[in-house]
Amino acid sequence: MPASIFIARLLGPIIAIVGIALLVKAEHFKVILKQFIHSPVPMYLAGFFGLLGGIAVLLVHNLWMADWRIVITLIGWLTTVRAIVVIFWPQWIAASGNWLLARPRVFMGAGIVDVLLGLFLCDGGYLHG
């Protein structure tokens, strides 16, 4: 199975389910975010595991082709960059978290984007794979 198909099949359902959870349980995620931005150990671990995942994706899928697979590469790069920011500048993450908490509609928007992105990856991985 090509890496593109495997990663799309892995990440698609995960991202879609997280998006649905954001839409259905937004208040729960707000509580989690409040605790997360004030907890250095979980923040560091999130950065570490994000870096691990982002680099893992890039090691097997750093493809810059003009088709659906570029989304996987962009996810790998964005995950890697975000993880580096979390590790080196956690205060930016805390400030961003506070900004998000002050704008409750952002959770709905993020949920919708996640559901659509997850479905897009599922389409690429399961229907076209």
45-63 tens-digit pLDDT: 999 999 999 999 999 999 9
- pLDDT of 128 > 90? The answer is no
- Is 36 a domain residue? yes
Confidence of residue 84 (pLDDT cuts 50, 70, 90): very high
pTM of the model: 0.92
Q: What is the pLDDT of residue 129?
A: 65
Largest CA distance in the chain: 44
pLDDT digits (tens, 9 = 90+) for 7-52: 999 999 999 999 999 999 999 999 999 999 999 999 999 999 999 9
- Is 87 a domain residue? yes
- Is 90 a domain residue? yes
Structural domain range at position 62: 24-113
Are the beta carbons of 118 and 21 closer than 8 angstroms? Answer: no
- Is 15 a domain residue? no
- Is 40 a domain residue? yes
- Mean pLDDT along residues 86-109: 95
Number of domain units in the chain:
1
- Is 11 a domain residue? no
- Mean pLDDT along residues 63-90: 96
